[in-house]
C-alpha cells in the first residue's frame, strides 16, 4: 500500500494512492486508515513529503564498501547522527546548494518510517514499530562535514533531506536494489542486504537512547559511490518496490 501526503487547493492531507488517484484520509495513517470519502486524480494534487518526522535519525558508514571509500574505518556499532526536520523536502522539490559549501554530495538511502512510539525495543521485535519504507537522500555538504568533529552542520542545512515519493507499507526491506542517478547516469548501485547493521539492530540500538515517534525516519546509510553534485543537476534515488525520488539542485539566492 502506498501512503502519501498531498496538497489539494492549499490543504494538506494524507491519502492512499495508486497510479491514477489518491483516496483521502481523515487523519494521520499510523493508528488506523479512516477514509473521508474523497478521491482526487493524481494529476490534480501536489505530492508533499510523505510524513512529518519530529527527527531524522541517520546512520553513518553502514555499508562496508562506503566506509572503505571514505577511508575512515567502520565503527563496530551503529554510528548515529541527527538531521533536523527542517531538512525535509518532497519528491520534485528543489535542493538548495548551501552558499557556504564548495562540495554537495548525494547519498541515496532506504528510509524507515516509524509507525508507533518505540522505546527499549527488544531484538526481533522492531518490525512491530515500522509503518513502512521510503526513498531518502542524505544530502551532505561534505567540505563542512569534514571540517568539524560533529556532523550536524554539514548534514543539517535546509532542504538536505528529500524523502518520498510515498511510503510503501508492504515490502520486505531485506534485499532491495537501491540506485542513485545524476542526470540519468548511475552513480550508486547496491542492495540493502549489504548493510552492516540491519534494520532490527538499528531500531533496537537507537531506542536504547531515544524514543522514536510515529512519522520519525531512520536513514539506514548509503552504499558506495558517493559523489558531488552541481547546481542544475537532477538527482534520483530509486529503490526497488518503492519508486523514484527526484530532485533538482538549485543555487541559494
Q: Which pLDDT does position 177 carry in this prediction?
A: 98
Q: What is the pLDDT of residues 215-226, one digit of tens each?
A: 999 999 999 999
Residues 69 and 44 in one domain: no
Beta carbons of 89 and 95 less than 8 angstroms apart: yes
71 has pLDDT over 90: no
Residues 127 and 149 in one domain: yes
Look at the block and give the residue holding cell 560533529: 150
Residues 137 and 242 in one domain: yes
Pairing of strands 2-8, 11-17: antiparallel
Is the torsion defined by CA of 26, 16, 159, 212 positive or negative? positive
Beta carbons of 104 and 97 less than 8 angstroms apart: yes
Residues 20 and 107 in one domain: no
- The domain that holds 26 is classified in CATH as 2.30.30.370
Residues 231 and 208 in one domain: yes
Q: Which pLDDT does position 67 carry in this prediction?
A: 80
- The domain that holds 125 is classified in CATH as 3.90.850.10
Residues 214 and 178 in one domain: yes
Look at the block and give the residue holding cell 494512492: 17
Residues 126 and 157 in one domain: yes
Q: Which pLDDT does position 247 carry in this prediction?
A: 98
Residues 113 and 39 in one domain: no
Q: What's the total number of domains in the chain?
A: 2
Residues 99 and 212 in one domain: yes
Q: Which pLDDT does position 116 carry in this prediction?
A: 97
Q: What is the pLDDT of residues 172-205, one digit of tens each?
A: 999 999 999 999 999 999 999 999 999 999 999 9
Q: What is the pLDDT of residues 91-113, one digit of tens each?
A: 999 999 999 999 999 999 999 99
Q: What is the pLDDT of residues 119-139, one digit of tens each?
A: 999 999 999 999 999 999 999
Residues 131 and 10 in one domain: no
SS3 assignment, position 203 = helix
Residues 181 and 244 in one domain: yes
Residues 6 and 105 in one domain: no
Q: Which pLDDT does position 155 carry in this prediction?
A: 98
What phi and psi values does residue 148 have, to the nearest 5 degrees?
-135, 150
Beta carbons of 212 and 114 less than 8 angstroms apart: yes
Q: Which pLDDT does position 64 carry in this prediction?
A: 85
DSSP state of 118: B
Average pLDDT of the chain is: 96
68 has pLDDT over 90: no
Residue partners of 234: CB distance under 8 A and separation at least 6: 182, 183, 184, 246, 247, 248, 249
Q: Which pLDDT does position 253 carry in this prediction?
A: 83
Residue 100 class from Cβ within 10 Å (0-12 exposed, 13-18 middle, 19+ buried)? exposed
Domain residue limits at 66: 56-251
Amino acid at each position: 500500500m502506498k501512503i502519501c501526503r498531498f496538497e489539494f487547493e492549499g490543504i494538506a492531507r494524507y491519502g492512499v494512492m495508486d497510479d491514477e488517484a489518491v483516496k483521502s484520509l481523515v487523519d494521520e495513517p499510523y493508528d488506523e486508515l479512516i477514509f473521508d470519502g474523497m478521491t482526487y486524480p493524481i494529476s490534480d494534487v501536489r505530492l508533499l513529503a510523505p510524513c512529518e518526522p519530529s527527527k531524522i535519525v541517520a546512520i553513518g558508514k553502514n555499508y562496508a564498501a562506503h566506509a572503505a571509500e571514505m577511508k575512515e574505518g567502520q565503527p563496530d556499532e551503529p554510528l548515529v547522527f541527527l538531521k533536523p526536520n527542517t531538512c525535509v523536502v518532497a519528491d520534485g522539490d528543489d535542493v538548495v546548494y548551501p552558499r557556504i559549501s564548495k562540495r554537495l554530495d548525494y547519498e541515496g538511502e532506504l528510509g524507515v518510517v516509524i509507525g508507533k512510539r518505540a522505546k527499549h525495543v527488544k531484538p526481533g521485535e522492531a518490525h512491530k514499530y515500522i509503518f513502512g519504507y521510503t526513498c531518502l537522500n542524505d544530502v551532505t555538504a561534505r567540505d563542512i562535514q569534514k571540517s568539524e568533529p560533529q556532523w550536524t552542520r554539514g548534514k543539517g542545512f535546509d532542504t538536505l533531506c528529500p524523502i518520498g515519493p510515498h511510503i510503501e507499507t508492504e515490502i520486505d526491506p531485506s534485499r532491495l536494489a537501491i540506485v542513485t542517478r545524476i542526470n540519468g547516469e548511475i552513480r550508486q548501485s547496491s542492495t540493502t542486504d549489504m548493510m552492516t547493521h540491519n534494520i532490527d539492530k538499528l531500531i533496537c540500538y537507537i531506542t536504547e537512547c531515544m524514543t522514536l515517534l510515529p512519522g520519525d525516519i531512520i536513514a539506514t546509510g548509503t552504499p558506495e559511490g558517493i559523489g558531488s553534485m552541481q547546481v542544475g543537476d537532477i538527482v534520483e534515488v530509486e529503490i526497488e518496490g518503492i519508486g523514484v525520488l527526484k530532485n533538482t539542485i538549485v543555487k541559494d539566492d
